[in-house]
Amino acid sequence: MLKKIIIVLLIYFLYFGLCVCIYNIHQIDVAAKDAEKDATKSLKSLYNHKIQNESVCVTAKLDQALALRCQLIDQAKESLSISQYAISDDDSGLIIVGKLLAAAQRGVKIKLLLNGLATEMSITSRIPFEIFREKENIEVKTIGGLNLFKPWEINNVLHDKLILVDDNYFISSGKNIGNRFMLKSKDYEATYDFDLIVKKDGPSSKNSLIKQGKIYFNELWHSPYTYDRSHSSRPFTGKALSNLANEIRKANNRHENILRQEIISTLDFHPINAGLLIHNPVGKLVKKPVLWQQLLRFVEESKEATLQSPYVIISEKMKQFQTKQLPDKLTLITNSAATSPNLFAYAGYLRQKEDLLKQMEIWEYQGDGSLHHKALLLDQTIGAVGSFNLDSRSTFLSSENMVFIDSPGFHDQLEKIMQEYQAESLQVKNLTTYKKSDQHRRIVHPTKQKLLDLISKIIKPLEFLL
């Protein structure tokens, strides 16, 4: 009997792997061909998307991220729309859930959109969907997840991190809700990322970024691949709810000093001249590479550009959209082998590293924790922040967004933070060495280095999934 079960499982895993690979390879090929004839906007056209009465700020301070979100939720009077890859089952997740429950209780209409697979994997009995079932004013949906009969759907990933507070604030971020992104501790390595915050300062203009954020969120919310989780039928007892309330209270007490900070009024906002939210298409499992095409054209038409991404894996399908020479002054800030926690993605980057060096200057981070930022600087006035990693997964498979903003003050603010990470990085000379020997170089654990070397040699066939 055991032998039969093992054979059935092996056959299923073979079916699973083949379905995922064959479906996605074919559909990526179709999407790439369809996109070849699509028009993109010139860099000059970005300046035409004029915006009035909105200002922007970017912050990367890890110890402010949780308090910022809590204060924005507290400020909500009518509506909250939140898209999140996952809410982790830890103190950060508990505190945010507590804030959402309190907001709903005071009458705020809340729409919470989560990635199905990540949510199913990370939310346990402490933070189940059932807590929202009996609560008025909260709707919960998920996108994607594990469908045993349609395994190719596993790659339909909601990767956007968006928060919309009434008509007053819009956040686009790369941060997940979890302790690694929001609370420093000796128990784990910190993960650093950006929060871009747009604030309303007066009557909205035609091209309002807050309006653009709302339109995009609504497209995601009404996607044909969403699942309504507001009416779960699993039992959830009064005792469990009481236990959850107690856990939330204890989490708030543990981080009272962090949460007591006043964040919003201390942020340095800058006027926006023009702005554009660009995102992948909604409603298909495999997407046209709209965001990649547009980002690439903006870079090609710039005199200088600086990119920041946790890793870079440019697949053959991505390369076909390059039509012009990249700027001579092109810089990439990314993780080093020592700091990256993603073995497969980083191995994909290692396989391409020498080719990338022919096109750009690369700086690899040597500081504490790891980089999770997705950002872009163009020339002297344009900056962009969002959820888009420079890889095939973000290009064709996941829902992603980047907010491009023309604002000299914002550009300089973002540049300053990126330079701080660059100062903790070393410039790459070749595959294994840096241009200057430095005592601050982090040492890669020998076992990790061997695994990276091995995976980088065999990862090519799975490049489309990285």
Exposure string of 128-149, with b = 16+ CB inside 10 Å and e = fewer, is bbbbbbeeebbbbbbbbbeeee
What pLDDT shows up at residue 79? 97
H-type helices in 301-366, by residue range?
316-319, 343-357
What pLDDT shows up at residue 121? 53
What pLDDT shows up at residue 271? 97
What pLDDT shows up at residue 305? 97
Phi, psi of 271 (to 5 degrees): -60, 145
Exposure string of 321-340, with b = 16+ CB inside 10 Å and e = fewer, is beeeeebeebbbbbbbbbbb
Exposure string of 24-40, with b = 16+ CB inside 10 Å and e = fewer, is beebbeebbeebeeeeb
Rounded Cα–Cα distance for residues 65 and 32 (Å): 37
What pLDDT shows up at residue 231? 64
What pLDDT shows up at residue 285? 92
Rounded Cα–Cα distance for residues 217 and 113 (Å): 9
Q: Which tokens hold the place of 131?
A: 């807590």
Q: Which of 366, 295, 401 is nearest to 46 (CA)?
A: 295
pTM of the predicted protein model: 0.94
What pLDDT shows up at residue 9? 76
Q: Which tokens hold the place of 25?
A: 């390879």
Q: Which tokens hold the place of 296?
A: 């690439």
Residue type for position 51: I
SS3 100: helix
- Cross-strand pairs, 447: none
What residues in the chain have per-residue pLDDT under 70? 118-130, 133-134, 230-240, 437-439
- Count CA atoms closer than 13 A to 180's CA, side-chain side: 19
Q: Which tokens hold the place of 139?
A: 């709707």
Q: How far is CA 17 from CA 76, 154, 458, in A?
A: 44, 11, 16
- Count CA atoms closer than 13 A to 140's CA, side-chain side: 23
Following CA atoms 351, 357, 360, 366 in sequence, which dihedral angle do they give, to the nearest 10 degrees?
A: 80
What pLDDT shows up at residue 236? 58
- Cross-strand pairs, 198: 56, 170
Domains detected in the chain:
10-49+274-465 (3.30.870.10), 55-266 (3.30.870.10)
Q: Angle, to 10 degrees, between the axis of helix 343-357 and the axis of helix 446-458?
A: 70
What pLDDT shows up at residue 73? 97
